[in-house]
Amino acid sequence: MWNELLNLFSSDDPMKQMGDDFMRMLAMTHEMAELVRPHVFDHLLTLEKRKLILEKDVEVNKLERSIRRQIVSHLTLHRDQIPYCLVLLMMVNHAERVGDYVKNVAEVERLGGAAVPEGPLRDELSDLIAITHRLFDGAPKLVSDQDRDGADELVRIARNAKQRSDKLLVELSKSDLTPSQVTSMVLLTRFYRRMTSHLKNILSSVVMPVHQVDYIPEELADDEQ
């Protein structure tokens, strides 16, 4: 399925523009995440960078709506391509949600969070954030190259990160951090957990058939424990 969709992306078919727009969405959400990453724990993101993140989020949302319009128009003439369009719609939705969660990270201080001191809990979250960025770095090329092995590896890593995130949330409830520091850590853990999940679901389009995109059977994660 995905190989055929890639062939459409690289042809003169109108789907090519949609594919290009989707890749732009991924690139822009990655740029947003890189802007906020240095200040995840200190909350010293400048107003200028906050504004830039919001502007990019608006562009991501515009691209999502544009792709949806293109798909609706495309299907009036190409009903045989419904399966491909369904896959693309799902992927576009995940990319848009990633942008939303990056924006949320930039808003943690406004939501009651405080700067987080160094320590084991922060180190664990730093590792989980690094995993999210590994997915950001790898997803575009793995999707474009139809690299099943590479995508499967990152899907497994993402599944493991989810388990670690859940464990971290439990540990935070027993920590001696201040309430505002716990707020920061809980929100950041949740936001990055969701980003990782959406990026994982984008990668699932490479390793799963269309009816199972977004669904990774448990047996794929058997060796994560």
pLDDT in tens, 104-136: 999 999 999 999 999 999 999 999 999 999 999
Query: In this predicted structure, what is the pLDDT of residue 204?
Result: 86
Least confident residue range of 59-63, 89-93, 118-122, 144-148? 144-148
Tokens of 69: 């319009």
User: For the chain, what is the total number of helices (H) and then of strands (E)?
Assistant: 7, 0
Q: How confident is the model at residue 14 (pLDDT cuts 50, 70, 90)?
A: low
Average pLDDT over residues 90-117: 95
Which of 10-19, 64-73, 74-83 is most confident? 64-73
Mean predicted lDDT score pLDDT of the chain? 87
Query: In this predicted structure, what is the pLDDT of residue 5?
Result: 56
Residue 180 has pLDDT above 90, yes or no: yes
Query: In this predicted structure, what is the pLDDT of residue 132?
Result: 98
Handedness of CA 33, 35, 36, 42 (dihedral sign): positive
Average pLDDT over residues 210-224: 48
Burial of 192 (0-12, 13-18, 19+ CB in 10 A): buried
Residues 6+ apart with CB under 8 A from 120: none
Q: How confident is the model at residue 16 (pLDDT cuts 50, 70, 90)?
A: confident
Per cent of the chain over pLDDT 90 is 68
Average pLDDT over residues 166-177: 96
Query: In this predicted structure, what is the pLDDT of residue 207?
Result: 74
Query: In this predicted structure, what is the pLDDT of residue 215?
Result: 53
Least confident residue range of 115-124, 143-152, 212-221? 212-221
Average pLDDT over residues 69-84: 75
- Could you identify the residue written with the tokens 């009903």? 79
Q: How many CA atoms lie within 13 A of 93 on its CB side?
A: 10
Residue 217 has pLDDT above 70, yes or no: no
Question: Distance from CA of residue 209 to its chain's centroid?
Answer: 20
Burial of 91 (0-12, 13-18, 19+ CB in 10 A): buried
How many C-beta atoms surround the C-beta of residue 133 within 10 A?
Answer: 17
3-state secondary structure of 52: helix
Q: Domains, the chain, ranges and CATH?
A: 2-224 (1.20.58.220)
How far is 95 from 87, CA to CA, in rounded Å?
13
- Could you identify the residue written with the tokens 């919001």? 54
Query: In this predicted structure, what is the pLDDT of residue 205?
Result: 80
